Chains A and B, each alone.
Chain A
Amino acid sequence: MSEATATATRPAIDLARIRAWLPAYGVYVAIALLMLFNVLFTPNFLAWSNLRIQLIQMAPIVIVALGMALVIGTEGIDLSVGAVMALAAALIPLYLGYGVIAAIIVSLIAGVLVGLINGTLVARVGLQPIVATLALFVGGRGLALVISGGQLKDVRNEDLIYLGSGDLFGIPVLVWIAALLVLIVGFVVRRTVFGRRLLAIGGNRPATELAGVPVKRVLVTVYVVCSVLASIAGLLAVARIQSSDASAVGLLIELSAITAVVVGGTPLTGGRVRVLGTVAGALLMQLVVATMIKHNLQPSTTEMVQAVIILVAVYVARERKTR
């Protein structure tokens, strides 16, 4: 009876295999369960108007989280992304007079500059990423407030508003942009030399250095990419809200982005980046909030549930003792 022997040696539910499988795909299971719940018990959840709102709300977090995932892949962290969004938002109204393109370019340049500062502090000066980016977290939003004079400014430019509120083939432009960026970042991580180098640095930096990889240059680039993605999120936020408020744009988004990355299965210890997982992480958190709002639960409950989800996700994915 070969079947009986097989069941004897291998239990019906193989815990070890689930343990290996859960960190990588648990987030998708959670999304599927939550979707199922919503389809069954939430009226009009599948209505396009609802899904559309969820996607639009998710887009900026996904864009910021993509950059954060790359930084975390190098065993770093970037606390300054919210400040970069505020800086980009503050610069837009100042340069909108020269046209949308000019305003966008200026805000992207701000992202590049912040990324260069962060990257230089991390790679060349040798600061810990959390300290290096903390300086701009503290100062960056202040700078944005100084630039904007601390005032909320309305944005009336049609082209910019189209980016934030317009549709292309029935899907919001915002979502197209986020999806495109996901594809690009996914391609970069999986298929390019830069992506491999980035992961190698996170896996073992001294070995990567010995292998002749220009570690410092790669690190600076990673921080620049992260900041530029944040400034894109900032200008899209302005385009969506149709006003620029440097004190509110991107507030605490660094925490949402880190949450999305971690819940998506990217370890904080570097060496691995899950791009789709990051999108899934953002989607899961968005679904949790949406579900709770639809069922009239208070924001306080939502926050506590989010806390539990983060803990469970990290607990499942935590590194096991090798000894």
Chain B
Amino acid sequence: MTQTVSDHEVAAVVAADERRAERIDRIVGLIQRQGALAVLVVVVVIGSVAFPNFRSFDNAATILIAAAPPALIALGMTFVIITGGIDLSVGSLYVLGGVVSAYASQWGLLPAFLAPLAVCGLIGVLNGALIAYSRMAPFIVTLAALLGARGLMRAISDEGSTTYLVENDAFRAFGTGSFLGIGYPVWLVAAVFAAGMVLLSRTRFGHAVYAVGGSEDAASLMGVAVRRTKVWVYVMSGLLAGLAGAINAAKLGSGVTVLGTGMELDAIAAVVIGGTLLTGGAGTIAGTIAGVLLLGVIQNMINQVGNVPSSYQQVISGAFLAVVVVAQTYLVKLRRVT
């Protein structure tokens, strides 16, 4: 038996369907963008219940200060990845920046900050120029920079045998001191992140970064200076890695030559967990913060457990990364379908 349905009823059903699809779309989008934040909240709640030492203010301050240098590197990486690129050199630049900073600290506080920025910024310029103007893959250019920067670091540290101590008291005080119980480096990193957020979401440069990652050709037709934008993101990435190195030198009181291996991949992991797509064109800095903190909190919780070897942290981080990226891919697909 066929039922006659009035046009009015059909329209109502279609409208309801559309509303539902829109709602699902919004929710899925929200999960994709803020998933890392949600998981971070869950993990922090679990940690607070399970470990009495976890919820102390001091522990939170410890997590933040440990996360400060990786967070800076991940911030630069976020910009690079949104343009559809990648920067493998940041781990080396981080170490190089630390050694240069410790060496330059003998001339004062300002050189201790400016020297690593100059050196790492210059390598960033090289990266960016080669990638933007000579059509070479970012992966390879920055891989070469990884080797080159490491070589440079070894050269100025007598093949890694010389550790430069930070002689400047003000610089050391910056690394170890705190304001309102939270280390100075954390305040500095927070300020840099705030600036990064404004830059990405409120300026023409930020729009250009998204446009280049979305479609280079379209961006070029729209009048975006594609090459200049690309150069700048690699310069930023280099500068931030250098700054991260300086902060670490101030914290440790010396330029340590053996750290930083695999740091670029940790940063990429944090950015990807934070919801930035490696295909470019999408991503948020808030997500990156959540990604960095999540990895930091996991590490901290493993330390809380005590006799668990640190290798478990790598396993958990890796598994976590896998789960997040797989979930993200399905979310993106779901969104396209609905």
CB pair B269–A138 under 8 Å, yes or no, is yes
Q: Is B329 an interface residue (CB 8 A)?
A: yes
1/0 per residue, CB under 8 A from B, across A283-321: the answer is 000000000000000111111101110110011001111
CB pair B154–A131 under 8 Å, yes or no, is no
CB pair A128–B278 under 8 Å, yes or no, is yes
CB pair A255–B143 under 8 Å, yes or no, is yes
Q: Is B230 an interface residue (CB 8 A)?
A: no
Instruction: Indicate whether A135 sits within 8 Å of B155 (C-beta atoms), given known contacts A268-B139, A307-B147, A318-B134.
Output: no
Pick from B266, B311, B321 the residue with the most CB of A within 10 Å.
Answer: B311
Stretch at the interface among B187-195, B235-243, B285-293, B312-320: B312-320
CB pair A139–B315 under 8 Å, yes or no, is yes
Q: Is B326 an interface residue (CB 8 A)?
A: yes
Stretch at the interface among A7-15, A142-150, A199-207, A214-222: A142-150
Q: Is B136 an interface residue (CB 8 A)?
A: yes
In chain A, positions 130-160 with a C-beta closer than 8 Å to chain B are 130-132, 134-143, 145-146, 150
Stretch at the interface among A48-56, A119-127, A186-194, A226-234: A119-127
Chain B: minimal CB distance from A284 (Å): 14
Chain A binding surface, main DSSP class? helix
The count of chain A contact residues (Cβ–Cβ below 8 Å) is: 49
Question: Which of B135, B151, B309, B333 is close to A307, meaning CB atoms less than 8 Å apart?
Answer: B151
Chain A neighbourhood of B316, CB < 8 A:
139
Question: Which of B137, B153, B279, B317 is close to A139, meaning CB atoms less than 8 Å apart?
Answer: B317
Chain B binding surface, main DSSP class? helix
The count of chain B contact residues (Cβ–Cβ below 8 Å) is: 48
CB pair A142–B318 under 8 Å, yes or no, is yes
Chain B neighbourhood of A141, CB < 8 A:
311, 314
Chain A neighbourhood of B137, CB < 8 A:
268-269, 314
Alpha-carbon distance A48/B266, docked complex (angstroms): 43
Alpha-carbon distance A128/B152, docked complex (angstroms): 32
Chain B: minimal CB distance from A179 (Å): 27
Chain A neighbourhood of B322, CB < 8 A:
121, 135-136, 139
1/0 per residue, CB under 8 A from A, across B298-331: the answer is 0000000000010111111111011001100110
CB pair B136–A318 under 8 Å, yes or no, is yes
CB pair A134–B269 under 8 Å, yes or no, is yes
Across the two chains, which residue of chain B brings its CB closest to A135?
Answer: B322
CB pair B136–A130 under 8 Å, yes or no, is no
Instruction: Indicate whether A125 sits within 8 Å of B155 (C-beta atoms), given known contacts A137-B265, A139-B319.
Output: no
Chain A neighbourhood of B326, CB < 8 A:
121, 125, 127
Chain A neighbourhood of B319, CB < 8 A:
135, 139
Alpha-carbon distance A262/B312, docked complex (angstroms): 34
Chain A neighbourhood of B144, CB < 8 A:
306-308, 310-311, 314
Chain A: minimal CB distance from B311 (Å): 3
Chain A: minimal CB distance from B305 (Å): 14
Alpha-carbon distance A320/B136, docked complex (angstroms): 10
Q: Is B22 an interface residue (CB 8 A)?
A: no
Chain A neighbourhood of B279, CB < 8 A:
128
CB pair B155–A298 under 8 Å, yes or no, is yes
Instruction: Indicate whether A252 sits within 8 Å of B147 (C-beta atoms), given known contacts A138-B266, A311-B130.
Output: no
Question: Which of B130, B159, B313 is close to A300, meaning CB atoms less than 8 Å apart?
Answer: B159
Q: Is A77 an interface residue (CB 8 A)?
A: yes
Pairs of residues from A and B, 3 with the lowest C-beta to C-beta distance, nearest first: A139-B318, A142-B314, A303-B151
28 chain-A/chain-B pairs, Cβ below 8 angstroms: A131-B272, A131-B325, A137-B265, A142-B313, A252-B261, A255-B147, A262-B140, A268-B139, A268-B140, A299-B154, A300-B150, A302-B151, A303-B150, A303-B151, A304-B147, A304-B148, A306-B147, A306-B151, A307-B151, A310-B140, A310-B144, A311-B144, A314-B136, A314-B137, A314-B140, A314-B141, A315-B136, A318-B135
